[in-house]
Amino acid sequence: MNAKITATAHYVPERVMTNFELEKLVETSDEWIRTRTGISQRHIAAENEATSDLSTKVANSLLEKRGIPAEEIDIIIVCTVTPDHFAPSTAALVQNNIGATNAWGFDLSGACTGFLYGLETGSKFINSGKYQKVMVIGVDTMSSILDFTDRDTCVLFGDGAGGAILEPTESGSGIFDSILHMDGSGGHFLHVPGGGSRMPATVESVQAKQHYIRQDGKKVFKFAVKGMADVSERILKQNNLTGDDIALFIPHQANKRIIDAAANRCNIPAEKVLINIDFYGNTTAGTIPIGMNEAVEDGRIKDGDIILLAAFGAGFTWGSILMRWDAS
Ligand code: UT7
């Protein structure tokens, strides 16, 4: 029994921060950010807006689009590295906000690959035959861990959420292959040093800005190009597919140059590659479900289409998923 996506939704905070605004905060330029990353603007959460708020908007929209009451949801998986709290989980907050009284769930920390980890996990629950409706949300409020005096990171990220409902299908469509990886030896190249049990928050750690995200961009770039291209190429090959068979490639949006390199390696032409990094920046676990929902709403994804997803992120984590779309 495959799992298929029966509804998609996304939400981004109202406030838009342009590259020109960042020029006033750090030594950077709109030209540098656009040419090095492809980003023109990003959305930033309001002061009273947290990850569960973004997720709840997506969850309610998913229920409305699918036309089902919250009581029908069996499991809620919130993929995020920026939860509201360590405890309770963001999933529990979303469960309460939407009134999913029959659901259990959990948060999943897979960074930029979070939504792919979530889809894989959710689809296995569906495969088991025990669960009928699993909600998977990819969401990050990156502004909550961004140091707006650090140009190496603050120009890259944004806030946003997207999600999907997974349900069983007997038609052979839906998610039909996945390759997922993790290599913890790369952890220190992209991390948040403080705030966990390794370095609990103290006045000193906060003053030393240990609770912000830090990245060795050049190192991560090299691994990301190789990781995303390898895993995309491999999943096509092991399914006897080529770039021509793919209707749409939805890659994680960290850098347009990484996306172009992965698409080139798989011979996927530019018109079949979803790129929205210009508008949102890198929303970490949010990028793929945001892109997927935009593509569904624009009619770029139709029933029968083969869709390739690929991501690379902190951990390191990376992976790819193939599915045949069947929303009917
Ligand atoms: O989603 C999670 C995974 N993350 C990623 O995949 C991100 C991967 N890394 C990247 O996307 C890129 O490495 C960056 C966009 C972070 C940086 O691009 P780059 O082409 O690798 O730049 P660089 O680090 O080699 O820096 C080139 C120059 C340097 O100046 P010099 O040494 O050549 O004089 C930097 O100091 O650009 C400078 N620079 C900046 N200039 C203006 C670095 N950041 C900025 C900035 N504005 N924000």
Verify whether ligand 1 is closer than 6 Å to residue 224 (CB atom).
yes
- Helix (H), strand (E) at residue 186: none
Pairwise CA distance, residues 79 & 167, whole Å: 18
Q: What is the chain's mean pLDDT, rounded?
A: 97
Please state the atom number of ligand 1 nearest to the C-alpha of residue 155: 48
12: left (phi over 0), alpha (psi -120 to 50) or beta: beta
Distance CA 204, CA 270 (A): 48
Pocket test for ligand 1, best of 148, 221, 226, 287 (most atoms within 8 A of CB): 221
Is there an atom of ligand 1 within 6 Å of 218 CB? yes
111 CA to centre of own chain: 8
What is the value of pTM for the model shown? 0.97
Alpha carbon distance, N-terminus to C-terminus of the chain = 16
- Residue 173 DSSP class: -
Q: φ and ψ at 318, to 5 degrees? A: -160, 165
- pLDDT for residue 171: 84
- 18-32 pLDDT per residue, tens: 999 999 999 999 999
- Give CA–CA dist 192/113, Å, rounded: 17
**What are the sequence ranges of the domains in the chain?**
2-170, 175-324
For ligand 1, atom 17, the nearest C-alpha belongs to 217
Beta strands per DSSP E along 152-246? 159-169, 174-182, 190-191, 214-215
What is the CATH topology of the domain spanning 175-324? Peroxisomal Thiolase; Chain A, domain 1 (3.40.47)
pLDDT value for 271: 95
Q: What residue type is 142 in one-letter code?
A: M
Dihedral (CA of 56, 60, 66, 69) sign: positive
Tens of pLDDT, residues 48-61: 999 999 999 999 99
The tens digit of pLDDT for each residue in 181-193 reads: 999 999 999 999 9
Q: State the pairing for strand pair 306-313/248-251.
A: parallel
Q: Is 153 in the pocket of ligand 1 (CB under 6 A)?
A: no
Asked whether the domain spanning 175-324 has the same topology as the one spanning 2-170, the reply is: yes
Residue 80 CB burial class (10 angstroms; 0-12, 13-18, ≥19): buried
Distance CA 304, CA 325 (A): 5
Pairing of strands 190-191, 214-215: antiparallel
Annotated catalytic residues are: 112, 252, 282
CA distances from residue 68 to 54, 64, 71, 124, 302 in whole angstroms, order as listed = 20, 7, 8, 22, 22
Check pocket membership of 155 for ligand 1, CB cut-off 6 A.
yes
User: What pLDDT, on a 0 to 100 scale, did the predictor assign at position 185?
Assistant: 96
Helices (H) and strands (E) in the chain, counts: 11, 13
E strand or H helix at 322: strand 317-324
Q: For the residues 144-165, what does the mean pLDDT come to?
A: 98
CA of 35 to the centre of ligand 1 (A): 11
3-state secondary structure of 250: strand
Pick the CATH number of 2-170 from 3.30.750.24, 2.30.30.100, 3.50.50.60, 3.40.47.10: 3.40.47.10
pLDDT digits (tens, 9 = 90+) for 255-304: 999 999 999 988 999 999 999 999 999 999 999 999 999 999 999 999 99
pLDDT band for position 170 (cuts 50, 70, 90) = confident
Say how many C-beta atoms besides its own lie within 10 A of residue 25's C-beta.
Answer: 14
pLDDT in tens, 95-139: 999 999 999 999 999 999 999 999 999 999 999 999 999 999 999
Nearest to 139 by CA among 171, 180, 107, 166: 107
pLDDT for residue 328 = 79
